[in-house]
Structure 1
């Protein structure tokens, strides 16, 4: 038998107590947020007649997500990362900030402290037997088309099997992770390997949540970027390599048409020699446009827990 008790005075008084409204200490903002969150969940239990078995199965699944550090993996799959980007896009529009390369999600796999290079860097350690050589390059300009010298271009991506260093113990430290400072012409370049797309671990808590929604957990091949320079809005973005079957079916909702890049296969020995390469390679060109801003808070990436990054709180 379905019963509905949410709107009764007893439940409303109980919510106020649980949220700490009757206590002097704590954070008023935290109290309001928890009250709203619990109220929505209590009403959901009423509206869907959630059983104790369903509730505790969900608690167990949440415990598994936490134990496996998978909340950061599930969050983009449930659209939270993309929704936050949508909000920041709307905030930029309200501030009158326009132009520049579009943002897209950061994801959970950034690691602070990658080696830094001036102008050009090699990102891979040469140990991936299936790694196809990639020459990644581009120009960083402002919205007037002027080069931005000294911009910091932080790049990270997966290997040919879809694994990331630090999280994949088979890879060397900071493999496929570098920070490149642009030259006087605003140019950056990196020798690396073509990354592979990847999927969430099969049978993992994240996979089980997505399966319950009839969805997969696959991501297309992509390359992550942080780009920053004084006087310019910090940019968090990533490019998708054209041709991947999951380009427009990314479980993390990160694909944007403006960030889809074609790789150009080059077989001429002279072209390879100019770049210090041996044999055929794929050139990937990603030019970046930074919007100007004097607001200091917009010139740095937002704070969040990141691997090996010291807290500034």
Structure 2
């Protein structure tokens, strides 16, 4: 039986050296993670007989992925971000933390610092008026027992009718379709926006290049992202995927989950909508959220994932 070279004591000692195990400097946690990564990669190279051309082609791909700023997109597309949600769900189940609105992926398109409103806000800048369908979003933030949570911060963002997001799409105004809304005394939030479009990965980008090799599409259904936070409650990262979408249950980013489908109702504008400046067809989406109590203060905060910040 041939012993795999990557499994030998000599190579394991080499990987220890590579990861800085013999140095008192650096981060012990980084060393631990890198040792595991290098060891596993070596086994992949050996076990699957990866060629030099395949390896250096992958290195070139990583360079192009970083240059395109699509690494966060690929993490979602390969299911890694969804796997993090499954890990958190499993830990919650072991600890008896059940109930509340399901979490799902954040995605790579959040921008910090959007305008803050009390109770309600208009999210769109009017640039797609006559093209987009007006959308009225409303709901209530509650605790596990169903009591409204006043003063909760509802931070929401979504794409326009072309499937693009402000900041990342320079043709849109700052913070278009991005708002933060503080719930009122009854835990309610309300927003006027437009019905977003689903979208796909850049067909010429490295994420779609990878998906093509896997025989997969890169399409997402229309959806609305949410961060919801309140003092004493666990921060919730989630998104609502809109009903009736072709890719609702075939989202390349694996974000659709039971309990996170929003029913969009279309109607013709009546007197109340016309008084608000809406004519013709409009849509309504009502979605309530339930927050779990925070066991420790750190649970009230979102992760320190690097995020975009609109320049002044």
TM-score band by shorter chain is over 0.9
1:273 Cα deviation after fit: 4.4
Query: What is the aligned partner in structure 1 of residue 87 from structure 2?
Result: 87
Query: What is the aligned partner in structure 2 of residue 231 from structure 1?
Result: 232
Is the Cα contact below 8 Å between 1:106 and 1:224 reproduced in 2? yes
What SS is found at the alignment partner of 2:126? coil
TM-score, length-scaled by structure 2: 0.95
1:94 Cα deviation after fit: 2.5
Which whole-Å CA distance do the structure 2 matches of 1:266 and 1:145 have between them? 29
Is the Cα contact below 8 Å between 1:3 and 1:46 reproduced in 2? no
2:221 is aligned with 1:208: no
2:262 is aligned with 1:261: yes
Query: What is the aligned partner in structure 2 of residue 299 from structure 1?
Result: 300
Is the Cα contact below 8 Å between 1:272 and 1:279 reproduced in 2? no
Is the Cα contact below 8 Å between 2:269 and 2:278 reproduced in 1? no
1:272 Cα deviation after fit: 1.3
Deviations 1:232-267 (A, max 9, x none): 111110001111111111110000121111111121
Query: What is the aligned partner in structure 2 of residue 127 from structure 1?
Result: 127
Query: What is the aligned partner in structure 2 of residue 52 from structure 1?
Result: 52
Which whole-Å CA distance do the structure 2 matches of 1:276 and 1:288 have between them? 29
* Structure 2: gaps spanning 5 or more residues: none
Is the Cα contact below 8 Å between 2:116 and 2:182 reproduced in 1? yes
2:82 is aligned with 1:75: no
Rate the CA distance shift 1:69–1:180 in 2: closer, same or farther, 3 A: same
What SS is found at the alignment partner of 1:257? coil
1:192 Cα deviation after fit: 0.4
1:7 Cα deviation after fit: 2.2
Q: Give the number of equivalent residue pairs.
A: 309
2:158 is aligned with 1:148: no
Across the aligned residues of Structure 1 and Structure 2, the Cα RMSD in angstroms comes to: 1.7
1:270 Cα deviation after fit: 2.5
Is the Cα contact below 8 Å between 1:136 and 1:192 reproduced in 2? yes
Which whole-Å CA distance do the structure 1 matches of 2:279 and 2:295 have between them? 44
Is the Cα contact below 8 Å between 1:272 and 1:280 reproduced in 2? no
Which whole-Å CA distance do the structure 1 matches of 2:137 and 2:266 have between them? 12
1:282 Cα deviation after fit: 0.3
Query: What is the aligned partner in structure 2 of residue 166 from structure 1?
Result: 167
Query: What is the aligned partner in structure 1 of residue 222 from structure 2?
Result: 221
What SS is found at the alignment partner of 2:190? strand
Deviations 1:151-170 (A, max 9, x none): 10001000000000000001
Query: What is the aligned partner in structure 1 of residue 64 from structure 2?
Result: 64
Structure 1 residue ranges (4+ consecutive) displaced by more than 4 angstroms after TM superposition: 273-276
Which whole-Å CA distance do the structure 1 matches of 2:258 and 2:144 have between them? 19
Which whole-Å CA distance do the structure 2 matches of 1:144 and 1:276 have between them? 38
Query: What is the aligned partner in structure 2 of residue 244 from structure 1?
Result: 245
